[in-house]
Amino acid sequence: MAYVKTEVRSQQFVEAARRVAERDGVAKLTLRSVASEAGASLGILHYTFPSKEELLASLLQDVIDEATFAFRDNAADPKDLAATIRAGLGSFWNGVIQSRDQLQTMQYELTTHALRTEGLRPLAREQYEQYSGLLRSWLVDVLAASARTSQTPVDVVSRVLLAALDGLIIQYLCDPDPVRSVGDLNVIADVTVHMLGA
Amino acid sequence: MAYVKTEVRSQQFVEAARRVAERDGVAKLTLRSVASEAGASLGILHYTFPSKEELLASLLQDVIDEATFAFRDNAADPKDLAATIRAGLGSFWNGVIQSRDQLQTMQYELTTHALRTEGLRPLAREQYEQYSGLLRSWLVDVLAASARTSQTPVDVVSRVLLAALDGLIIQYLCDPDPVRSVGDLNVIADVTVHMLGA
DNA sequence: AAAAAAGTGAGTTGGTTGACCAACTTGTTG
DNA sequence: CAACAAGTTGGTCAACCAACTCACTTTTTT
């Protein structure tokens, strides 16, 4: 095993942990499985992450940091706010459908695990603050592009929108029907426009 | 341990399993912990449920069967559909807030577990069909009371509403702020009325 | 060249887990 | 009431697990 700075090694382990958690589930993530996945010895894992909880905290943080909804790709049309919203949500949903289900499942597993683990609970909160924050800034941009202000507070809209998308993902995981989910998504888009007050 | 029919024993174990899963998390639900919780020996548990998966299937089925949103308590006001919706969702949300968080957390744990377990996956689907079905029939009743028809297909409305509520629950679990959540809920109520086409 | 950092691999401790079984007790039935 | 089915018991099993130690080697830094 090559000699690299702990910082780098740490990142490698986090990536290995992510693969394991995604493939086998958070419940089956053990230090051994992670070490094996990373092709490293158990000793060095323990050297890098003194405890399993610290590894999981880093994994969750990594998942949080990575979250960047692919909204910005679509240029905001100043004239048609509704179309911009629809396009943004559409490209987001494409990402969800294309990413294998296991990634989404892992996120819920991580969240519930964090809720059950005293030391990780703040991260669960941070996770959702990050998500709604991303949606919020997207909405702010979209509104700015069409020189409007929202009727409902943007904070509220972003949280409700996040909630709807979150629930839609769960339903999609339980019954992966692309047609149905896209139909539901369009209604969510309409409803979002309505909240913004069009 | 008294001799009782397997059917009864089975129900006792499911109840014990529910208590354990709720209190300690699905991950910590072991045959031993369930047997101990039920005050029974490990052997009789294994006799009643030949495998852990069968026990979990029964538990999930039990959770599904139990689901009855407390909507019907509020009489539908034929004149004010919006108020009826708001009242219904409000009483539902009261139930969520009053029920210890752990019950909700357990439901997500059960769902993700079912998604990861080949034999249980159909139950995850059934779970969400049941939930959206309950919302659907409530909406149908509410609409009927005010002699209206929905602009958006009721199936779609019930799924989107379910999604929003589901997501709201997760956010509430991660950051239990009653004031914020009730504010968000009211927006969801408005949006629901909008979907129905008022 | 010395010190510090990174990595190794084997081993220990003290557990938990799901599955399984032989023997036993109780209930039921012919 | 004998026989059989149903229910119950305590214990065994092999596998796995997290956490940690330790003596040691290799690499990097100073």
**A83-142: per-residue pLDDT in tens?**
999 999 999 999 999 988 889 999 999 999 999 998 899 999 999 999 999 999 999 999
Q: Is the Cβ–Cβ distance between B185 and A159 less than 8 Å?
A: no
Greatest Cα-to-Cα distance within chain A, rounded to the nearest angstrom: 59
Q: What is the spatial distance between Cα B186 and Cα B16, in angstroms, rounded to a whole number?
A: 36
A residues 130..169 contacting B (CB < 8 A): 132, 152, 156-157, 159-160, 162-168
For the cut 90, the answer to whether the pLDDT of residue A198 exceeds it is no
Interface contact B171-A183, CB threshold 8 A = no
Buried b / exposed e over B107-125, threshold 16 CB at 10 Å, is bbbbbbbbbbbeebeebbb
B99 and B175 housed in the same domain: yes
Residue ending a domain, choose from A28, A50, A72: A50
pLDDT score recorded for residue B63 = 93
Using left for φ > 0, alpha for ψ between -120 and 50, and beta otherwise, residue A13 falls in: alpha
Q: What is the pLDDT of residue A6?
A: 87
Q: To the nearest whole percent, how much of chain B has pLDDT over 90?
A: 83
Range of the domain at A63: 53-196
Do A39 and A58 belong to one domain? no
Give the Cα-Cα-Cα angle A7, A124, A194 (nearest 5 degrees): 120
- For residue B3, the domain's CATH number is 1.10.10
Q: Are residues B154 and B115 in the same domain?
A: yes
- Positions on chain D within 7 A of a protein C-beta: 6-12, 16-23, 26-28
Same domain, B45 and B112: no
A vs B: CB pairs below 8 A: 128
Answer yes or no: do B76 and B19 share one domain: no
- Sorted by sequence, the CB contacts under 8 Å of residue A11 that are 6+ apart come out as none
Residues A33 and A103 in one domain: no
A-chain residues within 8 Å CB-CB of B112? 25, 105, 108-109, 112
Instruction: Residue A125: list chain B partners with CB under 8 A.
Output: 174-175
Find chain A residues with C-beta within 8 A of B174's C-beta: 111, 115, 124-125, 127-128
Measured CA to CA, the distance from residue A148 to residue A197 in angstroms comes to 10
pLDDT (0 to 100) of residue A73? 65
- pLDDT at residue B198, as a whole number: 64
Whether residue A193 is predicted with pLDDT greater than 90 in this model: the reply is yes
Contact B108 A111 (CB under 8 A): yes
Q: Which of A9, A32, A50 is the last residue of a domain?
A: A50
> Does the structure show a pLDDT above 70 at A5?
yes
**Contact indicator for B101, B176 with CB cutoff of 8 Å:** yes
Residues A122 and A40 in one domain: no
Identity of the residue numbered B100: R
> Quick one: pLDDT at residue B73?
64
Return phi, psi of residue B62, to 5°: -65, -45
Find which of A62-71, B46-55, B183-192 is predicted with most confidence, using mean pLDDT.
B183-192
Exposure string (b/e) for A99-112, b if CB count within 10 Å is 16 or more? eebbebbbbbbbbb
Distance from CA of B159 to the nearest CA of A (A): 7
| pLDDT attached to residue A70 | 64
CA max distance for chain B: 60
Give, in order, the Cα–Cα distances in Å from B16 to each of A38, A106, A189, B21, B64. 39, 27, 43, 9, 16
- Indicate whether A179 and A87 sit together in one domain: yes
Residue in chain B nearest A105 by alpha carbon: B112
> CB under 8 Å to A47, separation ≥6 — which residues?
A6
Structural tokens at position A172: 């999609």
Query: B-contacting residues of A 34-93, CB under 8 Å?
Result: none
Nearest C-alpha neighbor of A165 from the set A112, A140, A128: A128
Average pLDDT on B11-23 reads: 94
* pLDDT digit string, tens, across residues B64-105: 998 877 666 667 787 899 999 999 999 999 999 998 889 999
pLDDT of res. B78: 79
Residues present in chain B in total = 198
Instruction: Check CB contact under 8 Å for A128 and B174.
Output: yes
How many domains does chain A divide into? Answer: 2
Residue A36 and residue A87 in one domain = no
